[in-house]
Chains A and B, each alone.
Chain A
């Protein structure tokens, strides 16, 4: 940690921020630093760190100090880390948080994750070495090393060897995995082609295929994740699975819908349902396909798409006229309303209250006053 210097944290001209990650703690070798948790920043020239509470406490280190780095996976109770091996500090270094250190490496502990992206970017910067051909106005001290005269602590060579081995091992595992993946994909490709030929056969002899066989085919496509090119008319892309889902939704959504005034945005429903499930979650498309079947299954809910593209689930019992009439009442009572005010009044989300006002406007009951101060609705007296 004695390679760091105090810094204002301001970037120089020609120095660009590459990525930043909060929730990082610095270790001096194996020892937890005297610094708290903070934000780690990577620029084209330096590695910076700023204390998350005390923004004045900021330290920096040129990237040229870095010999190599390795990733250390996290575990139970342990955050993932990046171990950065460093060249010795140059003699003309500015003051920093540590005068000396017995370690030639630091650890970056990612308490709030983000190590994947950070590692990727750091790797890119270390490869590109942009600091070498993008000079900055204030000379960031560079370590007194050159390609030829690299002074290395004995340990570094050993670490490099270990890293190389680890890399080879990982490459072997990955290539095995990729090889298996490629073989799997070949088989999947066969399935796709098979499904295409069946699909075209179905299209040709529309009359001869039974409803049952079509439904079965659709569920095959669903299992494989192949888009259904054929029978989009009957129940959309619905399958037995979606029918079951629709019935389940029909039950679990009744209470929440009532609470929310009869209408919920589909994204809200998605979160609600998946949070409740915990595992074996629904995909967005599963949800949409299930909702499309409400009408056919005579369930008391409907999927509705507004002009704006917003998709909602609506209680069948909530008649359109009722909603519009009550919107008109509310607006008339208050003289005028914005979507935010209306939302607060009804305890609805701003998005849905806006849709209701727009609907009432479409039916001619309200008219708008559109200015930079916002969209306000008035009763239509024309």
Chain B
């Protein structure tokens, strides 16, 4: 096999010499490249020591992105409990990368996150309203939790009656799920809302109506 490997390596080197820039510059090319690798059963990001990584430089691109994703999630965990929209994550990672770095697409982020799962720590993605919530803590989120998150996505908050009406749940199940979210720090309770209490999800706060909270401020806000 080693002879075949050497031959392949030569082909890869040739490819790299012509198209290495394409990988770095074109998000579309990266997607195509990744999809093709997946089809034939090859994971170009499995190891930094792999040919793909060494010669095409795909590895460093995604592994570095992984570091940036982890750092953003860690920095915001006190505020959103470890749940963040893909959009917000994208924005913050871009900001952190600085002016001179390469732009990254959401697809790039998703692939980097998939690789991070290998390290435990509950990195996962929950589909909500056409996008994803990225989970970076090992909270046990089952189908009930997920569907409540999806319900809350439109307004950023949800109430007990909304859940009961939309999902046709009994009170006990509703309160149990909401309590879980509160305990994990994924939801905040607004007991002073007109009508009934509202359960807000910081992960879904839009740019336009929130400001950054320090960890100290956050711990003061816990009921």
Contacts and interface: CB of A to CB of B under 8 A. Distances in A.
Interface of A: 19-23, 39, 55, 76, 79-80, 110-117, 120, 173-174, 177-178, 180-185, 187-192, 194-195, 198, 216-217, 220, 222-227, 241, 265-267, 270-271, 274-275, 279-288, 305, 308-311, 340, 350-351, 370-375
A224 B51 contact: yes
Contacts, number: 211
Q: Which 8 A-B pairs have the closest CB atoms?
A: A311-B120, A281-B63, A113-B103, A284-B118, A189-B40, A308-B138, A266-B119, A225-B43
Given A284-B115, A285-B47, A373-B222, A266 B5 contact: no
B141 to A, nearest CB: 12
B190 interface: no
A195 B49 CA distance: 18
B27 to A, nearest CB: 5
Contacts of B177: none
5 contacts: A174-B28, A184-B11, A274-B63, A283-B45, A283-B63
Contacts of B18: 177, 180
A191 B9 CA distance: 11
Given A184-B12, A283-B59, A117 B119 contact: no
A198 B5 CA distance: 13
B181 to A, nearest CB: 10
Contacts of A181: 15, 19, 32-33, 36
Interface of B: 1-2, 4-5, 7-9, 11-12, 15, 18-19, 22, 26-29, 32-33, 36-37, 39-54, 59-60, 63-64, 66-67, 70-71, 74, 77, 87, 90-91, 94-95, 97, 99-101, 103-106, 115-122, 137-138, 179, 182-183, 189, 207-208, 219, 222-223
Contact of A271 (B71, B179, B207): B71
Contacts of B138: 308-310
Contacts of A180: 15, 18-19
Contact of A117 (B7, B53, B66, B90): B90
Given A23-B95, A284-B118, A372 B223 contact: yes
